[in-house]
Structures are given as C-alpha cells and as structure tokens.
Structure 1
Amino acid sequence: MFRIRKILDNTSISNRDTIEQVREILKKQFPSARKEELVKISLQLNDPMKYNYRSILFVVENSLGKVKAFAMLLHMPDIKIAYLELISTAPGKTGGGIGSALYEYIREECLLLGVRGLFFECAVDDSTIISDETILKQNIARMKFYERYGVYPIINNIYASPVNVGDQDLYYLMMDTLGQEKPIDLKLGHKIVRAILERKYGDLISKSQISEVVRSFKDEYFICRAPKYIRKPVTSKVALKEREKIILVVNEGHDIHHVQELGYVEAPVRIPIILEALDKTGLFLRIQPKHVSDKLLKQVHLGAYVDYLRRACEIIEPGKSIYPIVFPLRNMARPPKDIELQVGYYALDTFTPLNANAYKAARGAVDCAVTAADAVINGTHIAYALVRPPGHHAERRTLGGFCYFNSAAVAAHHLSSFGKVAVLDVDFHHGNGTQDIFYERRDVLTISIHGDPKFAYPHFAGFKDECGEKEGEGFNINYPLAQNTTPEQYRRTLISALKQISKFTPSYLVICLGLDTAKSDPTGTWSNEAKDFKEMGRLIGALKIQTLVVQEGGYRTQTLGENAGNFFEGLWSGFVG
C-alpha cells in the first residue's frame, strides 16, 4: 500500500526527510543533475515569489514513509497553466502502476487548480535525431505512456531545437488539455511558452534565443501531433473519482455521554440530526475510526490532566455528575487529594460536568478527528469528524465549555508533522483551548471568528490583541464580533480571515465547525441561515487547501441538519465544483 502526499513547504522534520529522499532519487536517476537543481527543490517550496510560480511536490510513499516516486508541479496562476517539472520513480520501482497513479493524481490537482492545461517536456522520439538505440527506446516508452492519456507534443515550432550545436538531449513541449475542449490561441500560447522558458531557463538561455523559440509558434491555435503509438487513449478526460467524496468519521459511541440536566444543550440528538441531512447530499464516504495512542494526546494535553480525566471518570458512580466547587489557583503545586475537589484544578467553569462516560466519549472524538486527519494526509480533499462532545474550549490542562479533549487541536498537531497548518474556528464562541495550545507556535496559524468575549463565553479570551507569544507572535488572530452581527458582516470578516490563511500558505486547513452562529441558536445571538452556511462553505472550499472539519457547537436542533448539509454542499462545490 502507498499514499500520494502533497508537500508545500519544508518546515517539518518529516517533510525535510522526504525532500532528502527525493534528492537521493534524483542523484541516482539523473546522475548529470546539477547540484543547484538539487538544492533548488527546497528553495522553490519556500520562496514562490522568487521564481514566479508556486511549487507543489508530490511524493508516493509507503506506510513507513519511504519515497517510491515523486513529481514537482509548478503552478503559474497568472497565465492559468501548470508545468510538470519532474516526475520519477525510485530506481527499480517502475512497475506496479505507481507512475500512472501519480500522473493521474497530478491531472486531478491541475483540474482543481483551474488551469487551461498541463505542460511539460518529453525527450524526442525521432530516430533521425537520436542515434543511440537504447536512449531512443526509452524516449519512445515515455511517449507511449503519455499517449495513453491523449497527450502529445505541440508541433510546428522549434522548441526541440538544440541550444548548442550537436546537442541530442532535446525535448518536445507537451500539452495535456485535461480533457478540456477550449483551445489555446496564439496570443496565450506565446505567453505560455515565454513564461516557461524564462522562469525555467532564464539563467541558461539568452533572451534572443527565447524570443526566437516563442516566435516559431505561428499556428492560430496550439496543434498537437497525431497519435503515433496508441490509437485509442485510455482516457483524455480527468475524473476526480473517490477523492471528491468527503470522508466522514462518526463518533459512534458519543451517546453514552448524556447529561440530562436542565439547560445542558450539548445533547446526543445533535449527531443523528446532522447525519440524516448529510445522507441526503450524496457527498460522503464513511469510514471507521482507528484508536489513537495516548502518546499523541499527551503531546497536546498535559499528561497529568489526561490521566486525571481517565481516573476520575473510572471511579465516578454511573448516572452521577460532579462539578468543581473550589478552584485552587493560588496554589497550583498542591492540588486537593480528593477526586471531586480536584475538578476545579482542571476546570475553567462550573457547568461542565465529569461523569462515568465523559472520558470515553471525548477519547472517541479524538480518535475520529485523527482518523479523519490521516485521510487528508493520505490524499483526501476534505474529511469530516462528526463528534461530540466538542473540544475547542479544552486547553492544554483544563476542561470547560462542554469540552474535555481538544480533538481539533490534536488532529492539527498530527497534521503539522507533514506541513504547516491553519486552524479556522467558526464557532460562535472563541476557541480558547486551541489558542492556548498553539499560542507559542508559528507552524500552526490559529484564527477564530466569534462573539466578543465582553458578552460571550469564555469571557477571558478571544480579544483582538491576543496575537501569540515568542515564536508564535503574529500567528494567532482573533476576530471578536458584536452581539448583533449580520450575515453580511460575518461574511466580510470570514473573507478577511481567509486572506490571512492564503498568505500563510498552509498545507492543511482545520475547520472547527460551530453551527451555533445560526439564527435562534440558544447559545448565540447571530442570525446565519442555511444560505449563509452554504456561502461560508463555498468561500472556504475555494481556497482549495486539503481540509479537515471537526464538529464543535450548534444547538438549535430545528435547523442544525439543514445548516450542516448546506455548509458541506458549499464546501464541496467551492473545492471541487
């Protein structure tokens, strides 16, 4: 089994190790590659402005993280094309369909990027030019591979002419239309060819040579060579297949946590209501959660806090809930010995209970969120952890706001091993727990749009001037909004937040989905309706960042399902549509 993973930066240890494996493959497969080209891989990922294109490294790796193949895609949004700079399997790993799977994956990505075409170079297969029979055979094999997808060289130009007299290392410019029927006219064609040559070879080819090649393209539209080896392509169109499905992971054991007390709105009925609405969309593919070790959980939450929750819930009498009655903040080093008295040592408020099933339900929510995160790491566009209890109020060492473990934060921390992460909290209440956990980190950008803490829970966090500390300074952004914020005002704020996320260029996006911004929600004061949630989802999806959604609040059961369904329809259409 293998997975295909996108790498957009080299900030994590895992990504740096993967990039080094890619360099080793390059050295073995292309012994003549310049040292500058090997170093350039990291530079391209980290500084797109310098090269005037955005680089995306795709790696095929096994369950142990061993790279079996890779490709480097250059996205040039100003001319709406993508350029496949490199694609290679590891030595001795050409079989097994890895190359095909990788190329098909890249075609899907290009479709999502909205480009007019995918361009790349392929060595010439002309026997009058290539005298070495072994090399000619290799070149023909490559051309056959691309012809399977209906991809051919652009003809009637001198692109494949030698730079220096006697050169036999020559390449056609190939065009994959991705099954789109709109042709490339000459004006756009000249822009494309010039951009490729200048951005790729500006330091190797003179401006006059570049201009000469550009002028050689004279046809009214780009024309490709007729099929030479395969008369009927396997497919020329791009199908998104299962990757367009939203992976759904449900905390099936959530209903054991049922606090039947007046005013406790975080009820089990929330999950089946949302599920019923999701089933109607046809967008979801459900998978089962896998158990996550305590090691990962304790990288996010204080170990003593995790152990206390498990121990306390094990000894609490079934059917009974305990609440904090003392808060030993003046002497944190000497907590009470009694389990019930210790609650205040790990609590933010007086209305979040501990009971026999709180730990089990919260632990299951973590398993679901991390399982969904793994689906995203493995290539899924969007995954949804439908869980309760919620988690975004749980700080590193405290529970509160119906939250025990911060499922979204654990998942975001897990994702951060594979690239930068942005967390966007759209719950009505500030995500104080997520802010607390990542407040000193720069690899995880945390953004929260919420009711001003002057009137909304948690009251002590979520102010605009809380911007992060130490390495994390500037990587925490709060948007506290007024009590009577309108849907239009909310939408404008969301757009501002999404601009911050785009600027951060994360590999992954985690959405803390609170549906309590809805009209008449018992815990909120805003008035978002189904159409507003759909637009919210569309705007987020349009970022086209691999996205994990983790369920947080939302308590008006009359509209909960409708709002959830509309959000995901918008998210899917923004990303894939």
Structure 2
Amino acid sequence: MFSIRPIYDTTVPVDAQSIEQVQTILAERFPLIAAEEVANLPATLKNPLGKGYRTIVFVAEGQRRLVQGFALLCHFSDLRFCYLDYLSVSLRHGGHGVGSALYERVREEAKALGDTALFFECLPDDPALCRDPELLRENVARLRFYERYGARPIINTAYETPLSAEDDCAPYLVADPLDKPLRLSRERVRHVVRAVLERKYKEKCSPQYVKMVLDSIPAGNLALRDPRYVRETAPPRVPGISADRRIALICNENHAIHHIRERGYVESPVRMKSILKEIEKTGLFLRRQPRHFAERHITQVHDRQFVSYLRTVCANLPEKKSVYPYVFPIRNAARPPRELAVRAGYYCIDTFTPLNGNAYAAARGAVDCGLTAAEELLAGRRLAYALVRPPGHHAERRAFGGFCYFNTSAVVAHRLSAHGRVAVLDVDYHHGNGTQNIFYERSDVLTLSIHGHPKFAYPYFSGFAEERGEGAGLGYNRNYPLPEEVDGERYAETLRQALKVMADFDPAFVIVGLGLDPAKGDPTGTWRLQARDFFLNGRLIGALGRHTVVVQEGGYRIRSLGVNAANFFQGLFEGMQIARRS
C-alpha cells in the first residue's frame, strides 16, 4: 500500500526527508544525471522560479514514509503548460502500480493547473534512432505505457535530432492531451519547445540548435503519431480531487457535552451541524480522526496554575451545574467603551462564560483537533480545518472568557513555530485578545486581527491599532479595528492590507482563526458580509500558498453559517490552486 502527495518545498522536516529519498532514487535510476542537479533539488524547490519554471515533486510513500517512487513536474506558469521531467520507481519497489498511480496524479495536477496538454520526453522506439536492443525494448514498453493515456510522440519536427553526430537515442517530445481534443497551433508549439530547450536545457542546446528545431515545426495544428501499441486509450477518470489535495477535516465529535441551554447562549452544538452539512457537499474535505495530546501542549501557552484550576474546578462541579464568575480583574480603564452599561463589565473578561463539568473536557477536545490539524501540515498536507467548539481566541495566557477556555489557535501556532515562522490571522468579528496576549512579546509568531473596534465591540479592552507588541515582539502584532458598518468590499480591502504584512513576514505556516460572525445578520455582530464575500476572503488567503490550518472560532447565525463556511473554503481551495499556478 502507498499514498501519493505533492511536495512544493522543504519547509517541513517530513518533506525534506522525502526529498532526500527522491535524490537517492534519481541517482540510482538515472546514472547519467549530473550530481549537481541531484544535489540542487531542495534549492530548486525553495526558489520555484529560479529556472523559469516551478518544480513540484510527487512522492509515492509506503509505511514509515518510505518513498517507493516519484514524479518531478515542471510548471511553466507564464506559458500555461506542464513538463514531466522524471517519473520513476525505486529499484526496490518496481511495479505494484506505483508508476501508473504517479502518472495519473501528475495528469490530475496538470488539469488542475489549466493546461491544454502535458509534455515530456521519451526515448525513441525506432531502431534507426536507438541502436541498443535492450534499451530499445525498454523504450517500447515505456511508450506503450504512455499510449494507454493518449500520450504519443509529436511528429513532423526535428526535436529528436541528436545534439551531436556521435549521440544516439535522442528523445521524442511527447504530448498527452489530457482527455481532450488536441488543438495546438504552430505558434503555441514553438513557445513550448523554445521554453523547454532554452530554460530546461539552456546549457546544452546552442542557439543554432534551438532555431533548427523551431524552424522544423510545420504550419497548422500539432500532430501526434498514430497509435502504435494500444487500440483504445484508458477511459478518462471521473473528475474529482485526489486525497492529497483535499482539506483535512478534524472535528471534536464530543463537543456536544458542552451545551449551555440557557436562553441567549448562542455558542451551541447546532453550529457544528450547520457547518458540516454544507461543507461536506463541496467534496473538498477528507475526514481525519483527532489524536489525543498531552496537557503540556496547553501549558506551553497557558499558565500552568490556570490550566490546573480549570481542570480541578470542572471535575468537581455537579452534573448540569454551571458556575459564572463574579469577581473580576481590573482591565485597562483608560479606554472605556461608549455605553455606560458595558463599562460595568469592562473591568473583567466577561460575565457570560460559565464553568461546568464538561467545559475542560470539551476545550481539551478542541485543542486535540487543532494539534491533529497541525500534524497534518507537518506530514506534508497544505490545508487542514479544525472544526471545533468551544472556540478559543479570547482565552489569554491565564484568563478565559468569550465562550473560550483554551486558545486552540495559539496552541497550534506554538507547536508549528518549532518548524518555522508562523502567522496567526484572526478574521472573527471580535478581537482575538487571547492570541495577542500570548504572543505579544514574541517575534517568531506574527498575530493579525481584523475586528470591530473595541469602543463598541467585545472584548472592549483590547484590539486597538496602536497595540503593536512589546520587547522582542514589537511590530509583530497588528490590529485592524473597523467601524460598526462594514460591507464585503471594505473588509476585503482591509484583508489585503493584513495579507501584505503577512507576506512580508514570510511565514512557513498560517493559522486562520475563522470567525463567521462578520456575516450579515449575525446576532453578535453588525457587519454585512455575504457568501460571496467569504469566498473572496478565502481566495485571498489561499493565494498566499502557505501550509494553512483553519481553526473555527465564532459565527452564530445558523441559517447562513454553513453556506458561508462552504464559500470560504471553496475560495481558500481555489486560492491555493492560484498559488500553485504562479
């Protein structure tokens, strides 16, 4: 058994380890390849456009992440075509369907990138061009394999002309139409051939050789050789999304144990059901079971005594008994909210987040889901979604409130920070005071929050634009407080500003605190975002192309909750595809 996944860079250790195995197979199966080219593969991935095209590696991995085969795809984004550079299985794992699965995954990627055809080279099956009988048999087998998918050599060109008279077995240029009619003009083919010869082989092909090949391309549409080995091509695969491209979905299934039935308590279990119902229709998600993690992950961002208190008090409360805090710490009294009635609670975190027998367990379950999502990224996945409740972004290092007990986003960010820089983007209607508090003096985690201005919006005491961090963290906290009336256009404008700051920070990982409460009609907000706005916001975030964990925060208008979530993730997925094309 094996699974296939793409590697776009070596940010996470598991990808770096897999690329080391790919380098071994390259040297093993292609002894004529330059050692420098093999050694430079990690650098090539790190600098995607250094050669004028982007390199994507697909690995087929078995148990213990042993690489059984790989494919190396070059995407020429400016010309909108893909070139398959290498496809090989290891000597140890030849056969077993690895090569077929890799090629089918490459074809899917080429289709997703919007390409009209997939190009690659294949050594000739003509005895006049290849004098070695054993090599000729291998070439026949290889061309027979590709012909099953409709891929055949391009004819009527001089592409297979050797670079020198002494050379033997110069390759054909092969085109796979990707299950569509092939209509490529002479001009289009010339662009493709020129890009391959001048960028891929710029140190081997002289200008005179390139001109000779280009001049040989006849007028009219591109022509492929007639089928020689296979009467019928393989039927097109049913359109879909391969498992490695889907968004890992992790839910804390036991969240309903935390159910406050009092009137006005909007953070209810039905929120999860509403979101799940709609997002599962998209076909973008792949369910993953949450793992259980030690409490030490929580105490790395929350005060140990605070965590112990929550655990102890919740364990000793009677069933169905809730305790509401009634003694509060003094907060920043220099910036009181507008309404006098609100000021009474300004000196505490709030009066509406109760403790009960299940609060600690539910919050722990949410953290487990967030950490499972983080592990999906560390295993090479690009997108993961922790659909959790209770939310967490209001939980500070040693305080809870706003329906939040433990800050899942902060726990995830700290976990990932051991492997690279992290940016936490909070798009909830309410300021992520907890996340800001936890990372306020750190420079390895950039925190950004777009929210209602604290002069009228919870939590009232934090989220001002001048709060920029302290000490080592100065400049690494950014707040974008907005007025009471905000539409999708104004929100997207602010989001673009935040994403520019994030891009300059250049994080390896992005955590999105997904609040759906900016939606029109949300009972806790005043903004007017609609489904199309959530789609655009997701698209803008996805276009960064970073390993991304989305953690569910607020959002309480049940009628539109799921539709808005589905639109956000469709946009996020599409944005990630845009990043892959660029």
TM over 0.5: yes
Q: CA deviation at 1:306?
A: 4.8
Distance in structure 1 (CA, Å) of the matches to 2:147 and 2:499: 40
**Match of 2:209?**
209
- 2:282, 2:566 within 8 Å by CA — same for their partners in 1? no
Moved more, 99-108 or 253-262: 253-262
Q: Secondary structure at the match of 1:51?
A: coil
**Match of 2:44?**
44
Q: CA deviation at 1:93?
A: 0.8
Q: Secondary structure at the match of 2:75?
A: strand
**Match of 1:340?**
none
Distance in structure 2 (CA, Å) of the matches to 1:197 and 1:277: 48
1:430-509 to structure 2, matched below 5 A, reads: 430-434=431-435, 447-459=448-460, 461-464=462-465, 478-497=479-498
Letter in 2 for 1:207: P
1:94-133 to structure 2, matched below 5 A, reads: 94-133=94-133
**Match of 2:54?**
54
Q: CA deviation at 1:355?
A: 2.4
- 2:353, 2:404 within 8 Å by CA — same for their partners in 1? yes
CA shift digits 1:431-453 (9 cap, x unpaired): 34445666788887654332234
Q: Secondary structure at the match of 1:48?
A: coil
- 2:155, 2:225 within 8 Å by CA — same for their partners in 1? yes
Letter in 2 for 1:201: Y
Q: CA deviation at 1:460?
A: 5.4
Q: CA deviation at 1:257?
A: 1.0
**Match of 1:556?**
557
Cα distance, 1:559–1:241 mapped onto 2, change above 3 Å: closer
Cα distance, 1:68–1:264 mapped onto 2, change above 3 Å: same
Cα distance, 1:229–1:310 mapped onto 2, change above 3 Å: farther
Cα distance, 1:84–1:268 mapped onto 2, change above 3 Å: same
Cα distance, 1:157–1:242 mapped onto 2, change above 3 Å: closer
Q: CA deviation at 1:388?
A: 0.8
Letter in 2 for 1:235: P
Q: Secondary structure at the match of 2:57?
A: strand
1:303-318 to structure 2, matched below 5 A, reads: 304=304, 306-318=307-319
Q: CA deviation at 1:201?
A: 1.3
Letter in 2 for 1:252: E
Cα distance, 1:439–1:26 mapped onto 2, change above 3 Å: farther
**Match of 1:323?**
325
Distance in structure 2 (CA, Å) of the matches to 1:2 and 1:541: 28
Q: CA deviation at 1:79?
A: 0.5
CA shift digits 1:2-48 (9 cap, x unpaired): 33232222233333322222222222222332221022212211223
Distance in structure 2 (CA, Å) of the matches to 1:323 and 1:413: 29
Cα distance, 1:18–1:398 mapped onto 2, change above 3 Å: farther
Q: Secondary structure at the match of 2:83?
A: strand
- 2:76, 2:82 within 8 Å by CA — same for their partners in 1? yes
Distance in structure 2 (CA, Å) of the matches to 1:213 and 1:439: 60
Q: Percent identity?
A: 47
- 1:392, 1:552 within 8 Å by CA — same for their partners in 2? yes
CA RMSD, 1 decimal: 3.7
Distance in structure 1 (CA, Å) of the matches to 2:472 and 2:134: 54
Q: CA deviation at 1:569?
A: 5.3
Letter in 2 for 1:183: R
Cα distance, 1:382–1:23 mapped onto 2, change above 3 Å: closer
CA shift digits 1:128-148 (9 cap, x unpaired): 222222212222222122112
Letter in 1 for 2:389: R
**Match of 1:520?**
521
Distance in structure 1 (CA, Å) of the matches to 2:199 and 2:483: 47
CA shift digits 1:309-362 (9 cap, x unpaired): 434422333313253736599xxxxxxxxxxxxxxxxx9656433322112112
Distance in structure 2 (CA, Å) of the matches to 1:286 and 1:130: 47
TM-score, length of structure 1 as denominator length: 0.83
- 2:440, 2:470 within 8 Å by CA — same for their partners in 1? yes
CA shift digits 1:445-479 (9 cap, x unpaired): 65433223454344555455666789988776544
Q: CA deviation at 1:487?
A: 1.8
- 1:431, 1:448 within 8 Å by CA — same for their partners in 2? yes
- 1:186, 1:220 within 8 Å by CA — same for their partners in 2? yes
Distance in structure 2 (CA, Å) of the matches to 1:50 and 1:246: 29
Structure 1: 5+ residue stretches without partners: 330-346
CA shift digits 1:383-402 (9 cap, x unpaired): 54332111233355553432
CA shift digits 1:60-97 (9 cap, x unpaired): 22342222222222222111112222222222212221
**Match of 1:355?**
356
Q: Secondary structure at the match of 1:492?
A: helix
CA shift digits 1:468-519 (9 cap, x unpaired): 7899887765443233222221123334555666778877765432110012
Distance in structure 1 (CA, Å) of the matches to 2:349 and 2:203: 60
Q: Secondary structure at the match of 1:289?
A: coil
Cα distance, 1:522–1:31 mapped onto 2, change above 3 Å: same
Distance in structure 2 (CA, Å) of the matches to 1:471 and 1:102: 46
**Match of 1:85?**
85
Q: Secondary structure at the match of 1:321?
A: coil
Q: CA deviation at 1:155?
A: 1.4
**Match of 1:144?**
144
TM-score, length of structure 2 as denominator length: 0.83
Cα distance, 1:239–1:210 mapped onto 2, change above 3 Å: same
- 1:322, 1:355 within 8 Å by CA — same for their partners in 2? no
Distance in structure 2 (CA, Å) of the matches to 1:443 and 1:204: 44
Cα distance, 1:545–1:186 mapped onto 2, change above 3 Å: farther
CA shift digits 1:190-235 (9 cap, x unpaired): 1111111111111222222222222222242221112222221213
**Match of 2:71?**
71
Q: Secondary structure at the match of 1:127?
A: coil
Moved more, 464-473 or 42-51: 464-473
Structure 2: 5+ residue stretches without partners: 332-347
Q: CA deviation at 1:184?
A: 1.6
Q: How many residues align?
A: 559
- 1:108, 1:238 within 8 Å by CA — same for their partners in 2? no
Cα distance, 1:195–1:513 mapped onto 2, change above 3 Å: same
